Every structure is written in C-alpha cells, then in structure tokens.
Structure 1
Amino acid sequence: MNGSVVALVVAVLAVSSSAPLIAFAAAPALAIAFWRNFLATVALTPVTYGPRRSEIRGAARRVVLFAVLAGVALAAHFATWMPSVQLGSVATATALVATQPVWQGLIAMAQGRRPSAAGWAGIVLSVAGAAWATGADIGVSGEAVLADILALLGGVFAAVYTALGERARVSLSTTTYTWICYGVCAALLLIVCLASGIDLAGYDTRTWAAILALVAGAQLLGHSMFNYALQHTSATTVSVLILLEVPGAALLAWLWLGQTPRAAALPGLCLLLVGVAVVILGATRSTRPVVDPALTD
C-alpha cells in the first residue's frame, strides 16, 4: 500500500469521525466550532507565523482580504452545519453538507463558466435526492427539517469558502491561508458565543476529549492527509473519495451512538451522493476545483 493510499484512508477516517464526535459531545455546537478552530489556529501558529511571517507581511492586501472573507464563510459553514448534526441525524447532515460541489458548480456558472451536460445532470440528481431526504424528514419532526435546511446551508457556505479561498491561494501557501481562515473563523465564533451567552467551559471530560479529537482528526489530520494525497493523486479522485465520509460517518454513528439511518431517507441520500459524484466527474474538464480539501468537517 503506497503512501497516497494510506494518506487517503487516514483522511477519510478522520473526517468521517467529525459528525459523530459533534453529536457525542455534550456542548453547544457553536462552542465546539469555536474550540476546534481556535485550538487548530494555536497548533498552526508555530509553523506559520514564525517561519512564514515574511509571506504574511509581503502578501497583497487584496489576497489577505480574500483569506479573511473565506474565514467569515468558514464560520458561517460551521455555524450552520454543526448544529444540524446535533438537531438531526448524522447520516442526513453529512450527506446534505456534501452537496458543496453542486453549489460550487452554480457559483462557477454565475461567474460565466457554464456546467457541462454531466454537471447539469448531477445538479438535478443532487437536488432531487436532497428534496427526497428532506421530504422524508417532514414526517419525523420540524426539528429534523430544520437540521436538513441548516446542513444544506452549510454546504452553500462551504462552496463560498472554497470560491474565496481559490482567490487567496493564488499567492498564499496552504498553511498560511488555513491559519488565517481558522483564526478569523475562531474570532467570529467567539463573538457569537459571547453575545449569545453560550458557555465555553465547564464541560465534562468526555466532551473535551471529543473536541480535542475533532481538532487532531478532522481539523488537522484530515486536512493534512488530503493535501499530501493531492501531490500524487488527481483532485477529482480525491474529491470523489471525500464522499466516503458520508457512509463512514453513518456507520460510526450507528455503531457508536446507536443512530440507525431512517429507511425512508436512504434512497434520497443515495441519489444525492450519485449526483454529487457526477458533478465532480463532470468538472474534470474545468480548471476550477470543486472541492477544497482544506475544508474538512
């Protein structure tokens, strides 16, 4: 087994653990989002601000602005997707946020780059699958439907984050760009938590363990392994493999949390994933990436 395969296996396992850990942690979703971004920023600071200080100081203001705006979009992503995991099911929330490439394609269309026939087919399949899954949740509870809407918004904000990040990474290294994004994201989430009166401490040991596992796994390890794999594997292959997070998270939630995926939603979720895969494969002729591995849930 070569290094790229090992990296991809580790990365998929790391990001698959994200949603189950969020559901497991006995803390408000926004507080978890703050801590995972703040601690990740702290961990990245010694390898970014010191060795790469000249890169930060020499970067054009426009590029830094794009990185900051990407951090704002990242905060919006976490503020919508992470509550959806706690309000609904892990399987549905993870699948709906995986629609990011679909929204990415629509953003590209708004910028004058029309999707291919395969891209359009994938968008239609994804929308139909999302509608099926959300419709199945209407009969469950209003809270489940709200979770679906938040997860979809999380996918939209992830696409916005990627579009902005593409502009910033023209001249910023991945490490510096990620450090800026996580830092801005953490600062915004801190303000929201303090303004909303959300407790940022006083959690039990298992919750802190879950938060630290999120930082080490999905936030740092998954990101690093995906970027390593990109040096040896096509972006399209990596993008499709990222979709394995959905069944991986569902399996972990079933074995660990006892969350059995709702049977009525499964056909819709499968249709959604097929659509997203078609969108990714249809984008192979485009120079614009449809997934940013720096954004791992």
Structure 2
Amino acid sequence: MNHNTKSFIGIELLYVIGIIAISFSSIFVRWSDADVAVIAMYRLYLTNLLLLPVAWKYRHVLFRLTARQWGWLAASGAMLALHFLLWMASLRLTTVASSTVILTLEPVMVMVGSYFLFRTRTNSVMLIGMGIAIAGSVVIGAGDFKLSGDALLGDLLSFFGTVAVAIHVLIGKKLMEKIDSFPYSFWVFAFAATFLAFYNVAQGNRFTGYEAKEWGIFLLLAIVPTLFGHYLFNWLLKYMNATAVSMSVLGEPVISSILAWVLLKEALTGYQLGAGLFILFGVWLFIRHGDRAKATKTLSAS
C-alpha cells in the first residue's frame, strides 16, 4: 500500500469520525432546556476557547487577511449562525428523523453551486451514490413527516437551515483556496457566535444563570459535533470537493436516528434501519469512486 493510498484511507476514516460526531448534535440539543440561540452561541464560543492554544501557533497568519476575505468570513459566519438557529429550532418542533432527513438536500444544493462557482463536474457513479443515499434518507423520515401544525414549521425551518449551511460550505471552499483551514474555522466560528450573541441580546435571552447540566451540554456540543465534526469537515475541504464534504450529512440521519432511538426513545422501525444501510452504501460509493482521484492528486501536490 503506497503513501497516497494510506493518506486517502486516513481521510476516509476522519470523514467517518466527522459523521458520527455531528450526529450527536441533535441529541445534545434535545437534552438542553436553553434557548436554541444561546445553545448555538455558547457551542461556538466554547469551541474557540478550546482552540486558543492552537490559535497561538497561528497568531502570525490569523490577522493577515484582506478586507475582502474578512467580508467573506463574516458572510460564512452569518450563514453558519443562521443554520444553527433554524435547524436547532426545528428540533423543538419535529423529530430528529424528520429534521435530519431534510439536511440530505445539502449535497444537492452544494453540487449545483459547485458546478457554477468552481466548474466541479459530477460523474455518473457520484450521482448514483448520491441518489441511493438520498432515497434511503427519505425512507428514514417518510413515516415521520407531518403536513400540519408545529411539525410542518419544524420541517420548513430545517429546510431553510439547510440552504444556509450549503452557502456556508461553498463560501468556505472558495476562501480556503487562499487561507488555511484553521484561521478560516476560527474566525467563522467567532463571527457566527457573535451574530448569535447580538440576536440573543435583541431577544432578551439571558447569558448566565444556567445549571451545571446546561453548561455541560454546551461543552459537549463544542467538543463532539463542532470540533470533531464541523472543524474536521472544514479541514477536509482542503482535500475533498465541497459536494463530497457536504455528503457527510447523508450519514447523519442514520446515526442520529439510532441515537434518538436509544437515548430519546423515539420510534425506529426495521425498514428505517435497512434504509440506513443504503444511505451508508451511497455515501461510500460517492466518496470511494467519485473523489478518490481528486484527493490523491491533492495529497501528492502537498
């Protein structure tokens, strides 16, 4: 096994770790009683607090950015903040399965955006893999979709949150052609958290007085789905195309639904578990056969 093959397998392993990590996000949010905007704000601020030792290493490049780059970092942060705000709110109105299955539209949105922005082409194997994964995701959430009341509002919030995160991913891919993944992630998280802080002030949400349990949940969200999820996927944008990275959300309904079944006692049927296997197969097909050449080429040049 040559160096490039080992490196690509390492990237695949990190990709799987990222999928598992982000799948815990919905569980932690459901455990918390705090306002979703407060949860998202502290999740991001605590992430950057944990990253401060690494920030010292990058101190000479953290501020070497152009005015245009600062503007796009703020835009990416705004989209990330909007995603967290809308998607976390959806979890209060609908089930984990319904909310996360709508996120599977993200790679489609990113694929279309990548074609127009970066001329990234999608081959037939990638499309087949994406189709299999999305079909499996629909099966997982189909029995749970409701077209009335709070559930419909929750589904709509999840949809618009998906649009926001797709824009966030596309901006990130463009920015990281010129800047490293750490300065990008650090400043995007800072901007997103600050936008959420202003929102909390406007809404009159309290910043203090939370029980130890809530602070523990905020910290878990910072460590598991943010550091080992979002930050990891931002780093992978250096080695994979934006559509491939966004495909990670197709694995989230599988893991999230299983976690919700175990930890939240939400219903999960046998056919939904079977659909989960189709999702994982579709994601594997997309990554293995659609992005191998690009990842190997990038690693060889680094």
TM-score norm. by structure 1 comes to: 0.77
The 10-residue stretch of structure 1 (217-226 or 173-182) with the greater mean CA deviation from structure 2? 217-226
Counterpart amino acid of residue 38 in structure 2: A
Match of 1:104 among 87, 110, 121: 110
Q: How many residues align?
A: 286
| DSSP 3-state at the match of 1:198 | coil
- Percent of matched pairs sharing the same residue: 26
2:143 matches 1:173? no
Task: Report deviation, 1:186.
Answer: 0.5
Structure 1 residues 64, 43: closer, same or farther in 2, change over 3 A? same
| DSSP 3-state at the match of 2:207 | coil
Counterpart amino acid of residue 86 in structure 1: R
Q: Is contact 1:90-1:249 (8 Å) kept?
A: yes
The 10-residue stretch of structure 1 (269-278 or 173-182) with the greater mean CA deviation from structure 2? 269-278
- State the alpha-carbon separation in 2 of the partners of residues 256 and 110 from structure 1: 41
Structure 1: stretches of 5+ with no match in the other structure: 289-297
Q: Which residue of 2 aligns with 1:213?
A: 220
TM-score norm. by structure 2 comes to: 0.76
- State the alpha-carbon separation in 1 of the partners of residues 69 and 245 from structure 2: 26
Task: Report deviation, 1:57.
Answer: 3.0
Q: Is contact 1:66-1:167 (8 Å) kept?
A: no
Match of 1:182 among 189, 192, 195: 189
Q: Is contact 1:45-1:179 (8 Å) kept?
A: no
2:152 matches 1:145? yes
Counterpart amino acid of residue 68 in structure 2: R
Q: Is contact 1:99-1:276 (8 Å) kept?
A: no
Q: Which residue of 2 aligns with 1:222?
A: 229
Q: Which residue of 2 aligns with 1:53?
A: 59
Q: Is contact 1:129-1:267 (8 Å) kept?
A: no
| DSSP 3-state at the match of 1:178 | helix
- State the alpha-carbon separation in 2 of the partners of residues 257 and 135 from structure 1: 17
1:1-297 counterparts in 2 under 5 A?
A: 7-8=14-15, 10-48=17-55, 50-111=56-117, 113=119, 116=122, 118=124, 122=130, 126=134, 133=141, 137-138=145-146, 141-223=148-230, 243-261=250-268, 284=291
The 10-residue stretch of structure 1 (174-183 or 87-96) with the greater mean CA deviation from structure 2? 87-96
- State the alpha-carbon separation in 2 of the partners of residues 231 and 171 from structure 1: 10
Structure 1 residues 73, 286: closer, same or farther in 2, change over 3 A? farther
Structure 2: stretches of 5+ with no match in the other structure: 1-8, 296-302
